[in-house]
Amino acid sequence: MRNKNILLGVSGGIAAYKACALTSKLTQQGANVKVMMTESATKFVSPLTFQALSRNPVYTDTFDEKDPKKIAHIELADWADIIVLAPATANVIGKIANGIADDMLSTTILATKAEVYIAPAMNVNMYEHPAVIKNMQTLTEYGYHFIEPGAGYLACGWIGKGRLEEPETIIEVIKAHQQDTRLLAGKKVLISAGPTREKVDPVRFFSNRSTGKMGYKLAEAAYELGADVTLVSGPVHIHLESGVGSIKLVHVTTAEDMYQAMMDNFAKQDIVIKAAAVADYRPKVTYDEKMKKQDGNLHIELERTKDILKALGEIKTNQYLVGFAAETQKLQEYGQDKLRRKNLDAIVLNNVSQQGAGFGSDTNIVTYLNKNLEEYKIPKASKKEVAIQILQYILRDMKDEKA
Protein backbone atom coordinates (compact mmCIF):
# COMPACT_ATOMS: atom_id res chain seq x y z
CA MET A 1 0.00 0.00 0.00
CA ARG A 2 2.99 2.32 0.38
CA ASN A 3 2.66 5.50 -1.69
CA LYS A 4 -0.65 4.36 -3.20
CA ASN A 5 -3.22 7.13 -3.66
CA ILE A 6 -6.37 5.75 -2.09
CA LEU A 7 -9.72 7.52 -2.12
CA LEU A 8 -11.98 6.14 0.60
CA GLY A 9 -15.68 6.68 -0.06
CA VAL A 10 -17.86 6.54 3.05
CA SER A 11 -21.64 6.28 2.67
CA GLY A 12 -24.36 6.60 5.26
CA GLY A 13 -24.55 3.47 7.37
CA ILE A 14 -23.79 2.73 11.01
CA ALA A 15 -20.71 0.81 9.82
CA ALA A 16 -19.17 4.19 8.93
CA TYR A 17 -17.37 4.01 12.28
CA LYS A 18 -15.28 1.11 10.90
CA ALA A 19 -14.12 3.38 8.08
CA CYS A 20 -12.24 5.39 10.71
CA ALA A 21 -10.11 2.35 11.55
CA LEU A 22 -9.70 1.60 7.85
CA THR A 23 -8.42 5.14 7.23
CA SER A 24 -5.96 4.83 10.11
CA LYS A 25 -4.61 1.43 9.03
CA LEU A 26 -4.19 2.48 5.39
CA THR A 27 -2.31 5.59 6.50
CA GLN A 28 -0.10 3.53 8.82
CA GLN A 29 0.82 1.30 5.86
CA GLY A 30 2.11 4.30 3.91
CA ALA A 31 -0.88 5.01 1.69
CA ASN A 32 -1.93 8.53 0.78
CA VAL A 33 -5.56 8.53 1.89
CA LYS A 34 -8.25 11.05 1.05
CA VAL A 35 -11.79 10.60 2.32
CA MET A 36 -15.03 11.47 0.55
CA MET A 37 -18.31 11.26 2.46
CA THR A 38 -21.97 11.34 1.51
CA GLU A 39 -24.17 13.76 3.44
CA SER A 40 -25.74 10.82 5.29
CA ALA A 41 -22.32 9.52 6.34
CA THR A 42 -21.62 12.82 8.13
CA LYS A 43 -24.58 12.06 10.41
CA PHE A 44 -22.69 9.04 11.78
CA VAL A 45 -19.09 10.29 11.84
CA SER A 46 -17.75 13.82 11.74
CA PRO A 47 -15.57 14.78 8.73
CA LEU A 48 -13.11 16.17 11.27
CA THR A 49 -12.43 12.62 12.47
CA PHE A 50 -11.35 11.50 9.00
CA GLN A 51 -9.36 14.68 8.48
CA ALA A 52 -7.37 13.97 11.65
CA LEU A 53 -6.79 10.32 10.73
CA SER A 54 -5.85 10.90 7.08
CA ARG A 55 -4.14 14.25 7.56
CA ASN A 56 -5.92 15.39 4.38
CA PRO A 57 -9.03 17.49 3.68
CA VAL A 58 -12.34 15.59 3.63
CA TYR A 59 -14.68 16.04 0.67
CA THR A 60 -18.44 16.14 1.10
CA ASP A 61 -19.91 18.65 -1.36
CA THR A 62 -19.59 18.69 -5.16
CA PHE A 63 -19.97 22.45 -5.18
CA ASP A 64 -17.40 23.17 -2.48
CA GLU A 65 -14.45 23.79 -4.80
CA LYS A 66 -11.41 24.24 -2.56
CA ASP A 67 -9.19 25.26 -5.50
CA PRO A 68 -10.85 27.36 -8.24
CA LYS A 69 -8.26 26.15 -10.76
CA LYS A 70 -9.47 22.54 -10.47
CA ILE A 71 -12.75 20.64 -10.55
CA ALA A 72 -12.42 18.65 -7.36
CA HIS A 73 -14.33 15.47 -8.22
CA ILE A 74 -12.52 15.12 -11.57
CA GLU A 75 -9.14 15.83 -9.99
CA LEU A 76 -9.78 13.21 -7.29
CA ALA A 77 -11.06 10.69 -9.85
CA ASP A 78 -7.77 11.10 -11.74
CA TRP A 79 -5.61 11.23 -8.60
CA ALA A 80 -6.75 7.93 -7.14
CA ASP A 81 -4.89 4.70 -7.84
CA ILE A 82 -7.58 2.82 -5.91
CA ILE A 83 -11.06 3.76 -4.71
CA VAL A 84 -12.50 1.90 -1.74
CA LEU A 85 -16.19 2.29 -0.98
CA ALA A 86 -16.67 1.25 2.65
CA PRO A 87 -19.30 1.02 3.89
CA ALA A 88 -21.30 0.78 0.68
CA THR A 89 -25.03 1.10 1.31
CA ALA A 90 -27.75 -0.34 -0.92
CA ASN A 91 -28.46 3.23 -2.01
CA VAL A 92 -24.99 4.09 -3.27
CA ILE A 93 -24.60 0.66 -4.92
CA GLY A 94 -27.88 1.24 -6.76
CA LYS A 95 -26.86 4.72 -7.87
CA ILE A 96 -23.52 3.64 -9.32
CA ALA A 97 -25.02 0.57 -11.03
CA ASN A 98 -27.57 2.78 -12.78
CA GLY A 99 -25.26 5.65 -13.66
CA ILE A 100 -26.80 8.14 -11.24
CA ALA A 101 -24.39 10.90 -10.18
CA ASP A 102 -26.22 13.17 -7.75
CA ASP A 103 -23.56 13.79 -5.11
CA MET A 104 -19.80 14.09 -4.95
CA LEU A 105 -19.11 10.43 -4.22
CA SER A 106 -21.24 8.93 -6.99
CA THR A 107 -20.01 11.58 -9.46
CA THR A 108 -16.37 10.82 -8.66
CA ILE A 109 -16.79 7.04 -8.95
CA LEU A 110 -18.46 7.37 -12.35
CA ALA A 111 -15.63 9.63 -13.53
CA THR A 112 -12.69 7.49 -12.40
CA LYS A 113 -10.54 5.00 -14.31
CA ALA A 114 -9.10 3.64 -11.05
CA GLU A 115 -9.92 0.19 -9.71
CA VAL A 116 -12.92 0.35 -7.39
CA TYR A 117 -13.40 -1.98 -4.43
CA ILE A 118 -16.87 -2.08 -2.87
CA ALA A 119 -17.46 -3.34 0.69
CA PRO A 120 -21.23 -3.54 1.25
CA ALA A 121 -22.84 -3.13 4.68
CA MET A 122 -26.59 -3.29 5.26
CA ASN A 123 -29.43 -5.27 6.79
CA VAL A 124 -29.44 -8.93 5.74
CA ASN A 125 -32.85 -8.61 4.04
CA MET A 126 -31.65 -5.60 2.06
CA TYR A 127 -28.51 -7.47 1.04
CA GLU A 128 -30.62 -10.38 -0.23
CA HIS A 129 -33.17 -8.19 -2.04
CA PRO A 130 -33.33 -9.01 -5.78
CA ALA A 131 -32.76 -5.36 -6.74
CA VAL A 132 -29.57 -5.15 -4.65
CA ILE A 133 -28.35 -8.50 -5.98
CA LYS A 134 -28.99 -7.33 -9.56
CA ASN A 135 -27.15 -4.06 -8.95
CA MET A 136 -24.13 -5.90 -7.51
CA GLN A 137 -24.12 -8.29 -10.47
CA THR A 138 -24.22 -5.31 -12.85
CA LEU A 139 -21.26 -3.68 -11.12
CA THR A 140 -19.34 -6.97 -11.17
CA GLU A 141 -19.91 -7.15 -14.92
CA TYR A 142 -18.64 -3.57 -15.21
CA GLY A 143 -15.39 -4.65 -13.54
CA TYR A 144 -15.92 -3.43 -9.97
CA HIS A 145 -14.52 -5.65 -7.20
CA PHE A 146 -16.68 -6.66 -4.23
CA ILE A 147 -15.44 -7.45 -0.73
CA GLU A 148 -18.24 -9.54 0.69
CA PRO A 149 -19.71 -8.61 4.07
CA GLY A 150 -19.41 -10.89 7.04
CA ALA A 151 -22.26 -12.67 8.79
CA GLY A 152 -23.23 -12.12 12.39
CA TYR A 153 -25.17 -9.83 14.70
CA LEU A 154 -26.15 -6.63 12.88
CA ALA A 155 -26.78 -3.19 14.40
CA CYS A 156 -30.46 -3.46 13.45
CA GLY A 157 -30.82 -6.55 15.65
CA TRP A 158 -30.99 -9.09 12.84
CA ILE A 159 -28.46 -11.90 12.53
CA GLY A 160 -27.13 -12.69 9.06
CA LYS A 161 -24.93 -11.51 6.23
CA GLY A 162 -24.48 -7.78 5.90
CA ARG A 163 -21.85 -6.73 8.42
CA LEU A 164 -19.02 -4.65 6.96
CA GLU A 165 -15.87 -6.74 6.67
CA GLU A 166 -13.16 -5.87 9.17
CA PRO A 167 -10.66 -3.19 8.07
CA GLU A 168 -7.71 -5.61 8.26
CA THR A 169 -9.49 -8.05 5.93
CA ILE A 170 -10.46 -5.31 3.48
CA ILE A 171 -6.82 -4.25 3.23
CA GLU A 172 -5.59 -7.83 2.78
CA VAL A 173 -8.12 -8.50 0.02
CA ILE A 174 -7.04 -5.35 -1.83
CA LYS A 175 -3.32 -6.13 -1.39
CA ALA A 176 -3.76 -9.68 -2.67
CA HIS A 177 -5.67 -8.46 -5.72
CA GLN A 178 -3.14 -5.73 -6.44
CA GLN A 179 -0.30 -8.27 -6.32
CA ASP A 180 -2.17 -10.32 -8.92
CA THR A 181 -1.91 -7.45 -11.40
CA ARG A 182 1.67 -8.51 -12.31
CA LEU A 183 1.06 -12.25 -12.47
CA LEU A 184 1.87 -12.42 -16.19
CA ALA A 185 4.71 -9.89 -16.24
CA GLY A 186 7.26 -10.93 -18.87
CA LYS A 187 4.93 -13.45 -20.51
CA LYS A 188 3.91 -13.30 -24.16
CA VAL A 189 0.28 -14.26 -24.76
CA LEU A 190 -1.42 -14.95 -28.11
CA ILE A 191 -5.23 -15.02 -28.21
CA SER A 192 -7.70 -15.51 -31.04
CA ALA A 193 -11.23 -14.12 -30.86
CA GLY A 194 -14.44 -13.75 -32.80
CA PRO A 195 -15.88 -15.54 -35.83
CA THR A 196 -14.52 -16.00 -39.32
CA ARG A 197 -16.40 -15.30 -42.54
CA GLU A 198 -16.24 -17.58 -45.57
CA LYS A 199 -17.19 -15.89 -48.83
CA VAL A 200 -19.92 -17.24 -51.11
CA ASP A 201 -20.16 -14.21 -53.40
CA PRO A 202 -19.69 -10.42 -52.97
CA VAL A 203 -22.80 -10.12 -50.77
CA ARG A 204 -23.01 -13.46 -48.97
CA PHE A 205 -20.84 -15.40 -46.55
CA PHE A 206 -21.00 -18.22 -44.01
CA SER A 207 -20.25 -17.31 -40.39
CA ASN A 208 -21.41 -18.04 -36.84
CA ARG A 209 -22.83 -16.34 -33.73
CA SER A 210 -19.51 -15.53 -32.02
CA THR A 211 -19.21 -11.87 -30.95
CA GLY A 212 -15.58 -12.06 -29.79
CA LYS A 213 -16.44 -10.85 -26.28
CA MET A 214 -14.74 -13.72 -24.43
CA GLY A 215 -11.54 -13.49 -26.46
CA TYR A 216 -11.38 -9.72 -26.09
CA LYS A 217 -11.86 -9.96 -22.31
CA LEU A 218 -9.09 -12.57 -22.15
CA ALA A 219 -6.79 -10.19 -24.03
CA GLU A 220 -7.67 -7.25 -21.76
CA ALA A 221 -7.25 -9.35 -18.61
CA ALA A 222 -3.89 -10.74 -19.78
CA TYR A 223 -2.68 -7.22 -20.54
CA GLU A 224 -3.81 -5.96 -17.11
CA LEU A 225 -1.96 -8.88 -15.50
CA GLY A 226 1.25 -7.67 -17.12
CA ALA A 227 1.49 -9.76 -20.30
CA ASP A 228 2.67 -8.73 -23.76
CA VAL A 229 -0.52 -9.55 -25.70
CA THR A 230 -1.26 -10.25 -29.35
CA LEU A 231 -4.94 -10.54 -30.27
CA VAL A 232 -5.95 -12.09 -33.60
CA SER A 233 -9.53 -11.02 -34.20
CA GLY A 234 -12.13 -12.02 -36.72
CA PRO A 235 -14.73 -9.43 -37.82
CA VAL A 236 -16.51 -8.17 -34.68
CA HIS A 237 -18.51 -5.13 -33.59
CA ILE A 238 -16.70 -4.54 -30.31
CA HIS A 239 -13.56 -2.69 -29.30
CA LEU A 240 -10.84 -3.13 -26.73
CA GLU A 241 -11.29 -1.18 -23.51
CA SER A 242 -9.54 2.18 -23.31
CA GLY A 243 -6.14 1.98 -21.64
CA VAL A 244 -5.03 -1.23 -23.36
CA GLY A 245 -3.66 0.42 -26.47
CA SER A 246 -0.40 -1.54 -26.50
CA ILE A 247 -2.17 -4.81 -27.25
CA LYS A 248 -1.11 -5.87 -30.76
CA LEU A 249 -4.37 -6.30 -32.68
CA VAL A 250 -4.33 -8.35 -35.90
CA HIS A 251 -7.55 -8.22 -37.95
CA VAL A 252 -8.48 -11.23 -40.08
CA THR A 253 -11.57 -12.35 -41.97
CA THR A 254 -11.38 -15.96 -43.13
CA ALA A 255 -10.29 -19.18 -41.46
CA GLU A 256 -7.23 -19.19 -43.72
CA ASP A 257 -6.39 -15.64 -42.63
CA MET A 258 -6.63 -16.67 -38.99
CA TYR A 259 -4.52 -19.77 -39.59
CA GLN A 260 -1.74 -17.68 -41.13
CA ALA A 261 -1.87 -15.02 -38.40
CA MET A 262 -1.74 -17.60 -35.60
CA MET A 263 1.14 -19.44 -37.26
CA ASP A 264 3.06 -16.21 -37.87
CA ASN A 265 2.80 -15.19 -34.20
CA PHE A 266 3.02 -18.60 -32.50
CA ALA A 267 6.73 -19.31 -32.13
CA LYS A 268 7.68 -16.71 -29.50
CA GLN A 269 4.62 -17.08 -27.27
CA ASP A 270 4.43 -18.46 -23.74
CA ILE A 271 0.65 -18.89 -23.65
CA VAL A 272 -1.69 -19.38 -26.61
CA ILE A 273 -5.47 -19.33 -26.17
CA LYS A 274 -7.69 -20.07 -29.14
CA ALA A 275 -11.05 -18.60 -28.17
CA ALA A 276 -12.13 -17.83 -31.75
CA ALA A 277 -15.03 -19.69 -33.35
CA VAL A 278 -13.42 -20.61 -36.66
CA ALA A 279 -15.51 -21.91 -39.55
CA ASP A 280 -15.04 -25.66 -39.99
CA TYR A 281 -16.12 -25.48 -43.64
CA ARG A 282 -16.01 -22.99 -46.52
CA PRO A 283 -17.60 -23.00 -49.99
CA LYS A 284 -15.51 -25.02 -52.43
CA VAL A 285 -16.38 -22.57 -55.18
CA THR A 286 -16.86 -18.83 -54.70
CA TYR A 287 -18.24 -16.24 -57.10
CA ASP A 288 -16.95 -12.78 -58.01
CA GLU A 289 -20.42 -11.67 -59.10
CA LYS A 290 -23.60 -11.85 -57.06
CA MET A 291 -25.43 -15.15 -57.51
CA LYS A 292 -28.92 -14.52 -58.87
CA LYS A 293 -31.94 -16.19 -57.37
CA GLN A 294 -33.14 -19.17 -59.42
CA ASP A 295 -36.03 -21.58 -59.28
CA GLY A 296 -35.56 -24.62 -57.08
CA ASN A 297 -33.09 -25.36 -54.33
CA LEU A 298 -29.49 -24.24 -54.19
CA HIS A 299 -26.70 -26.66 -53.37
CA ILE A 300 -23.32 -25.34 -52.21
CA GLU A 301 -20.49 -27.82 -51.81
CA LEU A 302 -18.34 -27.16 -48.72
CA GLU A 303 -14.77 -28.15 -48.03
CA ARG A 304 -12.87 -28.40 -44.74
CA THR A 305 -10.85 -25.48 -43.50
CA LYS A 306 -7.53 -26.04 -41.74
CA ASP A 307 -7.77 -27.14 -38.12
CA ILE A 308 -5.83 -24.30 -36.49
CA LEU A 309 -5.78 -25.70 -32.98
CA LYS A 310 -4.63 -29.14 -34.10
CA ALA A 311 -1.89 -27.57 -36.25
CA LEU A 312 -0.64 -25.55 -33.28
CA GLY A 313 -0.70 -28.65 -31.07
CA GLU A 314 1.50 -30.49 -33.57
CA ILE A 315 4.25 -27.83 -33.60
CA LYS A 316 4.18 -26.51 -30.04
CA THR A 317 7.37 -26.63 -28.01
CA ASN A 318 7.27 -24.65 -24.78
CA GLN A 319 3.92 -22.93 -25.41
CA TYR A 320 1.02 -23.57 -23.02
CA LEU A 321 -1.80 -24.20 -25.48
CA VAL A 322 -5.45 -23.72 -24.48
CA GLY A 323 -8.53 -24.36 -26.58
CA PHE A 324 -12.22 -23.61 -26.18
CA ALA A 325 -15.05 -26.05 -26.75
CA ALA A 326 -18.48 -24.52 -27.29
CA GLU A 327 -20.92 -27.41 -26.96
CA THR A 328 -24.59 -28.06 -26.24
CA GLN A 329 -24.25 -31.61 -24.91
CA LYS A 330 -21.72 -34.16 -23.59
CA LEU A 331 -19.44 -31.34 -22.48
CA GLN A 332 -16.85 -33.42 -20.61
CA GLU A 333 -16.80 -36.24 -23.16
CA TYR A 334 -16.25 -33.96 -26.15
CA GLY A 335 -13.87 -31.76 -24.18
CA GLN A 336 -11.59 -34.60 -23.11
CA ASP A 337 -11.54 -35.95 -26.67
CA LYS A 338 -10.55 -32.56 -28.08
CA LEU A 339 -7.93 -32.10 -25.37
CA ARG A 340 -6.27 -35.39 -26.32
CA ARG A 341 -6.60 -35.26 -30.12
CA LYS A 342 -5.23 -31.74 -30.46
CA ASN A 343 -2.39 -32.09 -27.93
CA LEU A 344 -3.67 -29.29 -25.69
CA ASP A 345 -2.49 -28.35 -22.22
CA ALA A 346 -5.98 -27.26 -21.18
CA ILE A 347 -9.42 -26.65 -22.59
CA VAL A 348 -12.24 -24.34 -21.53
CA LEU A 349 -15.62 -26.06 -21.80
CA ASN A 350 -18.59 -23.83 -22.50
CA ASN A 351 -22.20 -25.04 -22.68
CA VAL A 352 -23.60 -22.36 -24.98
CA SER A 353 -27.18 -23.52 -24.37
CA GLN A 354 -27.06 -22.34 -20.73
CA GLN A 355 -28.70 -19.05 -19.87
CA GLY A 356 -26.01 -16.46 -19.11
CA ALA A 357 -23.35 -18.27 -21.13
CA GLY A 358 -22.19 -18.47 -24.69
CA PHE A 359 -22.26 -16.18 -27.70
CA GLY A 360 -23.35 -12.57 -27.25
CA SER A 361 -23.73 -12.74 -23.49
CA ASP A 362 -21.83 -10.38 -21.18
CA THR A 363 -21.48 -13.23 -18.68
CA ASN A 364 -20.20 -16.78 -18.99
CA ILE A 365 -20.22 -20.14 -17.22
CA VAL A 366 -17.29 -22.41 -18.01
CA THR A 367 -15.29 -25.40 -16.84
CA TYR A 368 -11.48 -25.34 -17.03
CA LEU A 369 -10.02 -28.80 -17.73
CA ASN A 370 -6.27 -29.40 -17.89
CA LYS A 371 -4.35 -32.29 -19.44
CA ASN A 372 -4.20 -34.06 -16.06
CA LEU A 373 -8.02 -34.06 -16.23
CA GLU A 374 -8.21 -31.75 -13.22
CA GLU A 375 -11.50 -29.90 -13.56
CA TYR A 376 -12.41 -26.47 -12.16
CA LYS A 377 -15.86 -24.97 -12.58
CA ILE A 378 -16.14 -21.21 -12.93
CA PRO A 379 -19.69 -20.15 -12.04
CA LYS A 380 -21.63 -17.38 -13.77
CA ALA A 381 -19.68 -14.13 -13.76
CA SER A 382 -18.76 -11.32 -16.12
CA LYS A 383 -16.60 -12.46 -19.01
CA LYS A 384 -13.80 -10.27 -17.60
CA GLU A 385 -13.92 -12.09 -14.25
CA VAL A 386 -14.09 -15.46 -16.01
CA ALA A 387 -11.07 -14.45 -18.11
CA ILE A 388 -9.06 -13.54 -15.01
CA GLN A 389 -9.85 -16.90 -13.40
CA ILE A 390 -8.92 -18.81 -16.56
CA LEU A 391 -5.55 -17.02 -16.69
CA GLN A 392 -4.93 -17.74 -13.01
CA TYR A 393 -5.55 -21.47 -13.60
CA ILE A 394 -3.22 -21.42 -16.61
CA LEU A 395 -0.43 -19.75 -14.64
CA ARG A 396 -0.84 -22.16 -11.74
CA ASP A 397 -0.60 -25.15 -14.09
CA MET A 398 2.51 -23.71 -15.72
CA LYS A 399 4.14 -23.29 -12.33
CA ASP A 400 3.19 -26.86 -11.38
CA GLU A 401 4.87 -28.18 -14.53
CA LYS A 402 8.13 -26.44 -13.60
CA ALA A 403 8.03 -27.56 -9.96
211 pLDDT exceeds 80? yes
Domain ranges of the chain: 5-180, 188-283+296-402
- Please give the CATH superfamily to which domain 188-283+296-402 belongs: CoaB-like (3.40.50.10300)
In this predicted model, what pLDDT tens digit does every residue of 7-51 receive, in sequence order? 999 999 999 999 999 999 999 999 999 999 999 999 999 999 999
In this predicted model, what pLDDT tens digit does every residue of 359-388 receive, in sequence order? 778 888 999 999 999 999 988 888 888 998
Cα separation, 348 vs 371, in Å, equals 11
| Those residues with Cβ within 8 angstroms of residue 7's Cβ, 6 or more apart along the chain or in another chain | 33, 34, 35, 36, 76, 79, 80, 82, 83, 84, 108, 112, 114
Cα separation, 39 vs 9, in Å, equals 12
Q: What is the CATH number of domain 5-180?
A: 3.40.50.1950
First to last CA, the chain: 30
143 pLDDT exceeds 90? no
Active-site positions read 156
Whether 188-283+296-402 and 5-180 are alike in CATH topology: the answer is: yes
Single pTM value for the model: 0.64
326: pLDDT confidence band, cut at 50, 70 and 90? Answer: confident
According to the model, what pLDDT value does residue 348 have?
A: 96
Which residues does the annotation place in the binding site?
A: 280, 290, 324, 338, 342
Which residues does the annotation place in the binding site for CTP?
A: 280, 290, 324, 338, 342
